[in-house]
Amino acid sequence: MFADVILPLPLSDLYTYAVPAEMRNKIARGSRVIVPFGNKRYYTAIIYKIEDTISKELKDIDIKEIHSLLNSQPLVNEQQLNLWEWISFYYLSPLGDVFNAAVPSSMKSENLKSRFTPRTETVIKINPDMNPNIIREIIGKAQKQQSLYSQIENILIERKSEYISRKEVSELECHSTSALKSLIVKGVLQSVTIETSRLNTDLKPTRNLFPLNEVQQRAYKEIKNCLEFKQTCLLHGVTSSGKTEIYMHLIQDALSMGKQTLYLVPEIALTTQLTQRLQAVFGSKIGIYHSRINDNERAEIWSKMMSEDPFEIILGVRSSIFLPFNKLGLVIIDEEHEISFKQQDPSPRYHARDTAIMLAHLCNAKTILGSATPSLESFYNTKTGKYGLVTLQERYRNIMMPEIQIVNTFELRKRKKMKSVLAPLLIDQMNQSLENGEQVILFRNRRGFASLVECEQCAWTPKCKRCDVSLTYHKKRDRLICHYCNATYTLPAKCPSCNSENLKKLGQGTEQLEEEVESLFPDYFVGRMDLDTTRGKDAYEKIIDDFQSKRVQILIGTQMLSKGLDFENVGVVGVISADSLLNFPDFRSHERGFQLMMQAAGRAGRKNKQGKVIIQSADPLQPVYDYILNYDYEGFFNSQMAERKMFNYPPFSRLISIIIKDKIEHKVEAAAGYLAELLRITFGEMIQGPGKPIVSYIQSYHFREILIKLDNNFSLKKTREAIKSAESKFHSKREFKYITIQYDVDRV
Ligand SMILES: Nc1ncnc2c1ncn2[C@@H]1O[C@H](COP(=O)(O)OP(=O)(O)OP(=O)(O)O)[C@@H](O)[C@H]1O
Ligand SMILES: [Zn+2]
């Protein structure tokens, strides 16, 4: 008997091992085993396939044996393996990479001993072997011991529990260390160490679902109706229309049918508020899964999902699509337009939205995509009938959508009216709002203090030594930081090129905005939410909580603050230098800018009265602003689709980006040229490049990109085969043997 296994290594092939006799009736597809690999190394592997014979090519090779079987119950189920295979096929990534991305590290430790460390606790129990009738006698006249014993006994009876934690005992009224010790020495009580769960499993719900209002009720019915006929339905509802409440009703329906729900959000920041909202109704039926929870806890969630009593609801980011569901009925993808659903690095570069739809398909479950600003791809899919569409056009409680105003900062600067980063109108509105006890959110899509430092005399700017990008100045740390590789440098006192002492700091980031706002509004507390302030485990909670409880009145942030958060008291939202969103050289920049501004606007006026939004732009005549001012999603969609069609961009084609990288530039040039030549044989005109990506030198590697604009009707199987055969031909050339090729399918 032989088994093909998946190793947690970036290898595309499966590896064949012999199955030892004693394992034969225990091993199955999905089982976790340990296998020797290479030079005296051992790896955790997953059984992919079991066969009675081996293929001819392997006949003469010395096949090694599986070393041991870790669990007889498979670690991954059939649906998961099918999903892995699909990801590997569609995103052109080795199965080993998918395995690595999917399974918590402690479950695939390289050394033989499991790296999973259980959490333990000391507990006190009554000696079960002691005759209860003689216990009082054994304790004797010792008063303190008698009362401590009685108290413990009463608690255990009351709770119908076998033990009580040592910590709890020490907090009891009758506690005395010496009495406890004596009771243990006498053998009446026992102190034992037990394994406990890291998961909070006894949270009680605190409220019922809110009843839906009439408009929500209609949308809810439409969704149910639509899902009778279609697998996927898009809920396009304006910000604060109460989409989340509708999801909660749908989760309730899934629960009552005994089905699990996967609730995907694009960012950890969003899990904070949603956890509170969902736990209030569903208590400990929910498991939370994302990268900030530690690996041991992730392993516990995984195990619980495989147990008899799995979580009914999983709230998580991308990686939660990999959990073992066994009765998945519903997938909710909130803020479906967000590009953070796409994994960038490392491989597999999968899109969690699209992969979740595939997962739902494999599990025979239904998918709901939700957004106030759907991605063009998803909205297009409703037009072609692939997805159903349900629309919600009113805010909950019928509050008016915020009033949006655009201020022309170019004109204001010319007339010397811009005394700070904030336009006078924005400052006025902020003052009014703050005086009324309301709060303010300001967006700036750039972190740090100054995104560019420049010598006033010779225009020298500091650049990263390992990347072709200029450095950002971070004031609190007093450091220049590369946002590509995180390298830090000291800010020179003088220009190293001309010795001038006039180094200008240009391009304000969130850090500088914070400083200015603090000095403009000294009577209010200012908070900031960006990558730099959210590194700690509970950093998100703290910032969101401070704002929610009104300890902070003005909150500044990057895009991570723009979507999905629900604060009830925001009167004004300001978008600082909106143009930078639109001027990015990418065909999606207008779509992103539109989404970000609409979402940011959506944070204003959610509870009581209409909010105000001020967008600062130096180029307000760009057509996208008209659509924003009028909340005209359809108009925007149509204009963009016309462009996409003209230039054959998605959804009218599929983009596959192929990155070639190497430390030697002329080598990467030659390699990219050769690979493009090979690919043109099959793809002809669909190949663009090779060219330099926007940043073409990162961490001492030179990059070149080849883009395939694949016709929608071109078969994926054929595409994959052609790419793989070009790749192997490429690598068979000696000078290119060690050059890395990376694929990014459906690049965003
Ligand atoms: N039926 C309801 N009963 C009580 N409160 C509701 C109801 N529907 C919505 N709300 C409240 O209105 C606010 C906005 O709703 P919600 O956050 O669900 O909107 P959303 O459509 O998900 O917004 P966004 O797209 O901005 O994330 C929330 O505070 C929510 O609790
Ligand atoms: Zn760098």
Which residues lie below 8 Å from residue 326, measured CB to CB, with a gap of 6+? 77, 260, 305, 306, 310
Assess whether 97 and 72 both reside in one domain: yes
Q: Pick from 247, 249, 566, 633 the residue to mutate for probing ligand 1's pocket: most ligand atoms within 8 Å of its CB.
A: 566
d(CA 247, CA 227): 14
Assess whether 438 and 456 both reside in one domain: no
Ligand lying closest to the C-alpha of residue 472: 2
Which residues lie below 8 Å from residue 197, measured CB to CB, with a gap of 6+? 119, 300
pLDDT the model gives residue 322: 97
Q: By C-alpha distance, which of 100, 83, 89 is closest to 7?
A: 100
DSSP 601: H
Its ipTM equals 0.97
Q: Look up the CATH number of the domain holding residue 344.
A: 3.40.50.300
Assess whether 536 and 666 both reside in one domain: no
Does pTM surpass 0.95?
no
Instruction: Give me 287's structure tokens.
Output: 């498991």
**Residue 194 belongs to a domain:** no
Binding-site residues for Zn(2+): 455, 458, 464, 467, 482, 485, 495, 498
With contact defined as beta carbons under 8 Å apart, do 496 and 488 qualify? Answer: no
Q: By C-alpha distance, which of 500, 457, 464 is closest to 482?
A: 464
Cβ–ligand 1 contact at 273 (below 6 Å): no
Under-70 pLDDT residues of the chain: 12, 109-116, 201
487 C-alpha to center of ligand 2: Å? 5
pLDDT the model gives residue 293: 83
> What is the DSSP annotation of 142-186?
-HHHHHHHHHHHHHHHHHT-SEEEHHHHHTSTT--HHHHHHHHHT
d(CA 270, CA 567): 12
- Ligand 1: atom nearest CA of 237 is 21
d(CA 693, CA 150): 74
DSSP 545: H
pLDDT the model gives residue 115: 62
d(CA 530, CA 724): 40
Q: By C-alpha distance, which of 81, 399, 4, 19 is closest to 215?
A: 399
**Residue 326 belongs to a domain:** yes
Please state whether the peptide bond connecting residue 693 to the residue before it is cis, i.e. omega within 30 degrees of 0. Answer: no
Cβ–ligand 1 contact at 212 (below 6 Å): yes
Residue length of the chain = 748
Q: Which among 328, 360, 392 is the end of a domain?
A: 392
Q: By C-alpha distance, which of 689, 721, 692 is closest to 707?
A: 689
391 C-alpha to center of ligand 2: Å? 45
Assess whether 91 and 235 both reside in one domain: no
Q: Which among 187, 204, 231 is the end of a domain?
A: 187
Q: By C-alpha distance, which of 358, 293, 369 is closest to 322?
A: 358
Instruction: Give me 643's structure tokens.
Output: 């462009």
| Strand ranges inside 381-497, DSSP E | 388-392, 403-408, 439-443, 450-455, 472-474, 479-481, 488-489
312 C-alpha to center of ligand 2: Å? 43
Assess whether 136 and 170 both reside in one domain: yes
**Residue 201 belongs to a domain:** no
Cα dihedral value 196, 199, 202, 206, nearest 10: 160
697 C-alpha to center of ligand 2: Å? 9
Cβ–ligand 1 contact at 105 (below 6 Å): no
Q: Look up the CATH number of the domain holding residue 699.
A: 3.30.70.600
Instruction: Give me 257's structure tokens.
Output: 């049918």
Domain containing 585: what range?
399-447+509-643
d(CA 566, CA 564): 6
Helix (H, G, I), strand (E, B) or coil at 705: strand
Cβ–ligand 1 contact at 606 (below 6 Å): yes
235 C-alpha to center of ligand 1: Å? 14
DSSP percent split of the chain into helix, strand, coil, nearest 5: 40, 25, 40
Ligand lying closest to the C-alpha of residue 393: 1
**Residue 122 belongs to a domain:** no
**Residue 114 belongs to a domain:** no
Residue with CA nearest ligand 1 atom 11? 242
Burial class (CB in 10 A: 0-12, 13-18, 19+), 3: buried
Assess whether 441 and 514 both reside in one domain: yes
**Residue 205 belongs to a domain:** no
Q: By C-alpha distance, which of 652, 732, 660 is closest to 686?
A: 652
Burial class (CB in 10 A: 0-12, 13-18, 19+), 351: buried
**Residue 721 belongs to a domain:** yes
Q: Pick from 216, 244, 570 the residue to mutate for probing ligand 1's pocket: most ligand atoms within 8 Å of its CB.
A: 244
Is the C-alpha dihedral spanning 355, 357, 362, 368 positive or negative?
positive
Q: By C-alpha distance, which of 279, 390, 376, 365 is closest to 336?
A: 376
**How far, in whole angstroms, is CA 531 from its chain's centroid?**
14
Assess whether 384 and 522 both reside in one domain: no
**C-alpha radius of gyration, the chain, whole number:** 30
Assess whether 597 and 670 both reside in one domain: no
Residue with CA nearest ligand 1 atom 1? 212
pLDDT tens track for 645-660: 999 999 999 999 999 9
Assess whether 229 and 147 both reside in one domain: no
Which whole-number Å values give the CA distances from 319 to 7, 12, 445, in the listed order?
19, 21, 25
Count of structural domains within the chain = 6
Instruction: Give me 24's structure tokens.
Output: 């034969």
d(CA 276, CA 205): 11
Ligand lying closest to the C-alpha of residue 370: 1
**Residue 739 belongs to a domain:** yes
Instruction: Give me 45's structure tokens.
Output: 């592997």
Cβ–ligand 1 contact at 245 (below 6 Å): yes
Q: By C-alpha distance, which of 458, 461, 456, 459 is closest to 472?
A: 461
pLDDT the model gives residue 674: 97
Assess whether 435 and 464 both reside in one domain: no
Cβ–ligand 1 contact at 371 (below 6 Å): no
Question: 503 has which bridge partners?
Answer: 455
Cβ–ligand 1 contact at 548 (below 6 Å): no
Assess whether 441 and 541 both reside in one domain: yes
Cβ–ligand 1 contact at 394 (below 6 Å): no
Q: Pick from 214, 239, 240, 277 the residue to mutate for probing ligand 1's pocket: most ligand atoms within 8 Å of its CB.
A: 240
Residue with CA nearest ligand 1 atom 4? 210
Cβ–ligand 1 contact at 448 (below 6 Å): no
Q: Look up the CATH number of the domain holding residue 53.
A: 3.40.1440.60
Cβ–ligand 1 contact at 402 (below 6 Å): no
Assess whether 544 and 612 both reside in one domain: yes
Cβ–ligand 1 contact at 210 (below 6 Å): yes
- Ligand 1: atom nearest CA of 566 is 17
255 C-alpha to center of ligand 1: Å? 21
pLDDT the model gives residue 132: 81
Binding-site residues: 455, 458, 464, 467, 482, 485, 495, 498
DSSP H helices, 160-290, are 166-170, 177-185, 214-229, 243-256, 268-282
